[in-house]
Structures are given as C-alpha cells and as structure tokens.
C-alpha cells in the first residue's frame, strides 16, 4: 500500500519535472524499508513480533507527518520523511512471517497468503484516494500532492493501536518455530546475522528463497513505480493512474490465498516458477502496450499480471526460506531477506527513472524481465535435481 499510494501521488509532480528525480523519491521509501527490516527483526527477537510491528507503524506515522510538513521544511525533509514512511512496508512484510509462526508447518504458506490478502481492501482503495487527498490538502492550505499522506498517517496510527491493544504479548515467540518448538530458543540460541547468512549460503533452498523474494520484489517495483510517471507523460490523469494501480494491487494481494494453497500442495519451487512465467507475460504486455501507443487496457492487464507474479514469488520464496532454515537462524534470515529485497528494489527504483528516460517503457520492461533469468535457471536446476532423485517437494527434504 505505501509504495502504490506513493507512486500515484508522485506521478503528477513527475510530469512537470524530472523523471529521474521521481525515481529517487520512490527510492527513499524503498530504502527506508530495507534499512529497517533487520532492526525490526532484531527487535522482534528481543521484545516480540507485536512490539516490533507496532514500533514500525509508529515510525511510519512520524514519516507521514514529516512529508506533510515537507513543503515548508524542504526537499531533504521530504526524502527523510519518505524513508521513515517506508518502515511501514517493512512492518507489513514481516507480518506475514508472524502469521506463519502461529500455525502448523503444513499451513505456513496459506497463513502468509491470508495476511497479504487481508491488505487488499486498503491497498486497492489507497491509490484511488489520491485525488480526494489532493483536494482536501488544497482546502487545508497544504501542498495538494502531500494530501494523500494524511490518510496514511491515520491508517498507520490505527494499526499501531490495534497491534498494541489486541495483540501485544499474544503472538508466539518468533523463534519458537511452527508447531510449538521450545520458545526458549529465542533467548538461549541467538546467533549473529553473519552466522545465519553463512549457513544460508550453504543451503541451496535458502539461496533460492532469498533470490525469489528479492527478484520478485525488484521486478515489481522497477515497473510499478514508473508506470504512473509513464502514464502521466502520455496524458493520462490521476484517476486513470489510480485505476491501473488498483488493478495492480488487486493482483498482488487478492489472489494470494490461491498461491498459498498451491505452495502447500505443489511445493515452493513450482509456485516460484509459476511466478516467473506470469512476470514474463506482464513485461511482454508492457512492451506491447508502449509499442501500440500507450494503450491503457494493455497497461492495466500488464500491471495486474505484474502483481500476480509478485504474489507467487513472494509467497513461494518466503515459504521456501522459512522451511529451509533452522529455528535459531530463521528470524535473522527473514530480516535479511526483507532488507535484501528492499535494497535491490531501491536500486531498481532509482535506475528505472533513468531507463524510462533513455529507452521508454519498452526498455524498462525488457530490463525488468532480464532480472528474472538467474532465478529461472536456479529454480529449474533445483526442481530437476529433486525430481531426478525422487525426493519430496520441499527444501527440507
């Protein structure tokens, strides 16, 4: 939701200024999510998931407030506020791991998918509030484009209150493991981030899981953040941008229970490969839409498929990472995974503006599709290897 709302809100400003600068503005939010993912995971290790998630949303409230004041505080305050705003993304992503820890292992992917699905209503409505937020901001004497962040400020504050009041102390210990392993591991078996990462590098399932999460998020962000800019430059208004982004968000979240069920039934790697195939269709349609004169219908379908590919890759990759690691390494690697995906997406967000200026929407989509090749190769090799050995579907096998 934060990234999508931010894209819709920044699009009009981008049409009057530099596309590259718009990309760097998006990068601030993504970078904030990446920088906060590991500290939030470590905070969850010490104080519990509910406390960490509450803290993340409160930081995002501060960020939204800074953004609202940025017309008076200056451009550096805007970038700082966007970075704090991005902490909400890290909190929302880590909530999926909290859900998987509360159920038995065979339902882990479905639990993650339900958390993603639950964000559908707000995420779809958010981009369509851009025009309303701008109008309200103008009535209050604020910079119109900062108006939509008022809604985000209220939403994040309510999330923090609900988490602290209703879930404080009620979520399972993050390292207790699915199925109720000893919660004392959260205190007695803590390991450093370096130790957990070294163990993950030697685990092929963990490597594929990390790569799937990072690649899926990077491809999605690279295309999504510049789509509103591209549409604005082509003459489409904020209402049209809001519709396209809403379809994209609907693809990201609404179908997630299906991918969660498929992951628990078929296995993590097959669902990751399904995500790669969907991504390929999305970037192909994006290239076709630009070649045919910025056809809005094709752009909308492409962005919907982009969201579906993200959903499959994130759920399959997250489930594979969780099942491939021992409980004492799990929380550190989950934080590292979210940091990696956001840092990679931050780089893609910054570079996507440059690609859009150099070669248009066609080059941007082609470059995004190329990012999927390493994931495609390692996933197919892993699947063929496991099937040739007659082994079970999961990384744990």
d(CA 78, CA 84): 10
Question: CB-based contacts of 383: which residues, under 8 Å, 6+ apart?
Answer: 269, 270, 273
Place of tokens 């594979």: 320
Condensed to tens digits (0 to 9), the pLDDT of residues 350-394 reads 788 888 888 888 899 999 999 999 999 999 998 888 777 765 444
Calculated CA dihedral for residues 297, 260, 101, 215, nearest 10 degrees: -50
Place of tokens 């906060």: 36
More confident position, 152 or 170: 152
**185 found inside a domain:** no
Structure tokens at 56: 């993340």
Q: Which of 71-75, 100-104, 295-299 has the lowest mean pLDDT?
A: 100-104
Q: How far is CA 139 from CA 100, 131, 143, in A?
A: 44, 12, 10
The mean pLDDT of 259-279, rounded to a whole number, is 93
Say what the pLDDT of residue 259 is.
94
Question: Could you tell me what percent of the chain has a pLDDT over 70?
Answer: 78
Which of the listed ranges 126-135, 138-147, 199-208, 229-238 does the model predict with the highest average pLDDT? 199-208
On the question of pLDDT at 210 being above 70, the answer is yes
pLDDT band at 13 (very low <50, low <70, confident <90, very high): very low
Neighbours of 131 (CB within 10 A): 20
Say what the pLDDT of residue 281 is.
94
The mean pLDDT of 186-212, rounded to a whole number, is 75
Condensed to tens digits (0 to 9), the pLDDT of residues 86-131 reads 898 888 888 888 777 777 777 778 888 888 787 776 666 666 666 6
pLDDT band at 79 (very low <50, low <70, confident <90, very high): confident
* pTM score: 0.76
Say what the pLDDT of residue 126 is.
64
Q: How many domains would you assign to the chain? A: 1
Say what the pLDDT of residue 23 is.
55
On the question of pLDDT at 173 being above 70, the answer is no
More confident position, 164 or 186: 164
**79 found inside a domain:** yes
**180 found inside a domain:** no
On the question of pLDDT at 60 being above 60, the answer is yes
Say what the pLDDT of residue 391 is.
54
The mean pLDDT of 251-255, rounded to a whole number, is 87
DSSP symbol at 171:
S
pLDDT band at 190 (very low <50, low <70, confident <90, very high): low
Tell me the residue range of the domain where 41 lies: 2-173+191-388
Mean per-residue pLDDT over the chain, rounded: 78
Say what the pLDDT of residue 270 is.
94
Q: Which residues of 202-230 are buried (b: 16+ CB within 10 A; e: fewer)?
A: ebbbbbbbbbbbbbbbbbbbbbbbbbbbb
DSSP, collapsed to helix, strand or coil, labels residue 1 as coil
**332 found inside a domain:** yes
**347 found inside a domain:** yes
Give the residue from 162, 155, 187, 157 showing the smallest Cα distance to 173: 187
Contacts 24+ apart (CB under 8 A), 290-293: 290/230, 290/360, 290/361, 290/362, 290/365, 291/362
**221 found inside a domain:** yes
Contacts 24+ apart (CB under 8 A), 193-197: 193/38, 193/332, 193/335, 193/336, 195/329, 196/325, 196/329, 196/332, 196/333, 196/336, 197/332, 197/333, 197/336
- Please state whether 231 falls in left (phi above 0), alpha (psi between -120 and 50) or beta: alpha
**393 found inside a domain:** no
Neighbours of 241 (CB within 10 A): 26
**46 found inside a domain:** yes
Whichever domain contains 165, its CATH number is: 1.20.1250.20
Q: Which of 111-115, 143-147, 148-152, 364-368 has the lowest mean pLDDT?
A: 143-147
d(CA 233, CA 299): 14
Say what the pLDDT of residue 304 is.
93
Condensed to tens digits (0 to 9), the pLDDT of residues 310-353 reads 999 999 999 998 888 887 777 788 888 888 888 887 788 778 88
């Amino acid at each position: 939701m934060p990234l999508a709302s931010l894209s819709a809100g920044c699009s009009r400003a981008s049409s009057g200024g530099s596309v590259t600068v718009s990309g760097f503005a998006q990068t601030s939010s993504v970078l904030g999510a990446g920088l906060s993912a590991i500290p939030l995971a470590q905070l969850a290790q010490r104080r519990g998931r509910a406390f960490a998630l509450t803290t993340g949303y409160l930081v995002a409230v501060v960020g939204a407030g800074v953004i609202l004041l940025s017309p008076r505080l200056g451009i550096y305050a805007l970038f700082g506020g966007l970075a704090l705003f991005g902490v909400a993304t890290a909190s929302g992503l880590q909530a999926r791991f909290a859900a998987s820890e509360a159920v038995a292992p065979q339902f882990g992917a479905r639990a993650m998918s339900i958390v993603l699905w639950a964000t559908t209503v707000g995420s779809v409505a958010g981009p369509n509030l851009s025009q309303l937020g701008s109008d309200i901001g103008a009535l209050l004497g604020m910079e119109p484009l900062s108006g939509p962040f008022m809604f985000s400020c209220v939403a994040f504050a309510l999330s923090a209150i609900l988490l602290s009041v209703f879930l404080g102390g009620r979520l399972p210990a993050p390292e207790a493991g699915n199925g109720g392993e000893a919660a004392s591991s959260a205190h007695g078996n803590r390991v450093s981030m370096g130790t957990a990462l070294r163990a993950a590098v030697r685990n092929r399932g963990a490597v594929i899981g990390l790569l799937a999460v990072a690649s899926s998020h990077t491809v999605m962000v690279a295309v999504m953040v510049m789509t509103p800019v591209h549409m604005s430059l082509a003459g489409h208004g904020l209402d049209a941008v809001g519709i396209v982004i809403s379809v994209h968000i609907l693809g990201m979240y609404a179908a997630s229970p299906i991918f969660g069920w498929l992951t628990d039934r078929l296995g993590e790697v097959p669902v990751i490969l399904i995500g790669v195939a969907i991504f390929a269709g999305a970037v192909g349609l994006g290239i076709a839409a630009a070649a045919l004169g910025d056809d809005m219908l094709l752009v909308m379908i492409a962005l919907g498929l982009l969201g579906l590919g993200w959903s499959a890759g994130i759920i399959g990759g997250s489930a594979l990472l969780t099942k491939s690691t021992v409980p004492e390494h799990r929380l550190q690697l989950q934080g590292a995974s979210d940091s990696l995906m956001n840092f990679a997406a931050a780089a893609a967000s910054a570079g996507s503006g440059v690609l859009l200026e150099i070669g248009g929407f066609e080059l941007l989509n082609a470059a995004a599709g190329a990012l999927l090749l390493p994931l495609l190769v390692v996933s197919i090799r892993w699947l063929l290897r496991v099937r040739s050995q007659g082994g079970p579907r999961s990384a744990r096998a």
